[in-house]
């Protein structure tokens, strides 16, 4: 198993550009989520999904869109990048079994918005 994979590892954008961060998992997990981590801070939840076709907002959803068309993939779209979105982005996945779920995290995407 590759686990949770994220692409790209690094990205530099100009203000106003759009892009999609990719996340995939090969563990057949139902639950997937996106977090951002700003320097010196903990992770904050952006969006999450409990299965294909079902998504909801987390703590900091503004400026981001998600969709979940398959169990494996959960892309995060930045509609119009802003410097405030400079951060490290982590994707995570977990089983949906009785609510006691170990979450598996990807290696992260480091995004800089100029």
Contact between residue 9 and residue 110 where contact means Cβ atoms under 8 Å apart: yes
The residue whose two tokens read 């057949």 is 28
* Partners of 48 in the β-ladder: 33, 56
Interatomic CA distance for residues 91 and 73, integer angstroms: 10
Residues 82-101 that bind other proteins (CB under 8 A): 90, 92, 96, 99-101
Interatomic CA distance for residues 22 and 34, integer angstroms: 10
Interaction of residue 2 with other proteins, rule CB under 8 A = no
**Of 13-21, 34-42, 62-70, 76-84: span binding other proteins (CB under 8 A):** 34-42
Cβ closest to other proteins, residue 6 vs residue 85: 6
The footprint of other proteins (CB under 8 A) covers 4, 31, 33, 35, 40-45, 48, 50, 54, 56, 58-59, 90, 92, 96, 99-108
């Amino acid at each position: 198993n590759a686990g949770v994979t994220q692409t790209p590892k690094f990205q530099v954008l100009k203000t106003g550009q759009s892009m999609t961060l990719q996340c995939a998992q090969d563990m057949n997990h139902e639950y997937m989520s996106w977090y951002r981590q700003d320097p010196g801070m903990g992770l904050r939840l952006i969006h999450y999904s409990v299965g294909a076709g079902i998504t909801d907002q987390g703590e900091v959803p503004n400026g981001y869109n998600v969709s979940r068309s398959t169990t494996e993939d959960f892309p995060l779209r930045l509609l119009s990048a802003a410097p405030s979105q400079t951060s490290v982005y982590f994707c995570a996945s977990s089983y949906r079994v009785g609510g006691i779920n170990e979450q598996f995290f990807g290696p992260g995407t480091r995004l800089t918005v100029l």
